[in-house]
Amino acid sequence: MNPASMQLAAASGLMSLFLFIVAVAVLALLAGGFWMTSRVRYRESPRPRPEEQPKLPPEGPVHEVRENRESAEIPQIPKGDRPLTPYELTNMDTRTSASKERPRWSKGSSGSFGGGGLGAH
């Protein structure tokens, strides 16, 4: 055997050893992942039995209610007084709107902020 082929064989053997070590490390990581998952599952509470599952109310399923809501008016500030800051405003309640007409987007609008449409021009 000449020296060039011996160097090639040595490099090939080192590369094979390196790939084997990498493969063993990947398998160890996978096995560790499965082990950790099983430990987490063991600590979780057990799944509910069929008799513990939620049940429909006696009056049957709850149905969707469609209504328009409008917000309460923002309090008016007396002239010369300072404006209210957001934390001074309480949770603004909403009430059922007298109008039954559903709000529609203007023609040519995308219908959402930043939706990518051209908007109304």
- CA 63 → CA 27, 59, 66, 79, 99, distances in Å? 52, 11, 10, 47, 21
8's tokens: 């090639």
Lowest-confidence region among 7-16, 50-59, 104-113: 104-113
CB 92 within 8 A of CB 83: no
pLDDT digits (tens, 9 = 90+) for 17-64: 899 999 999 999 999 999 999 999 889 988 889 899 988 888 888 888
State the virtual CA torsion across 92, 93, 94, 95 in degrees, nearest 10. -140
Q: Which residues contact 100 (CB under 8 A, 6 or more apart)?
A: 68
Q: What is the pTM of this model?
A: 0.35
pLDDT digits (tens, 9 = 90+) for 69-95: 887 777 788 888 888 887 877 776 778
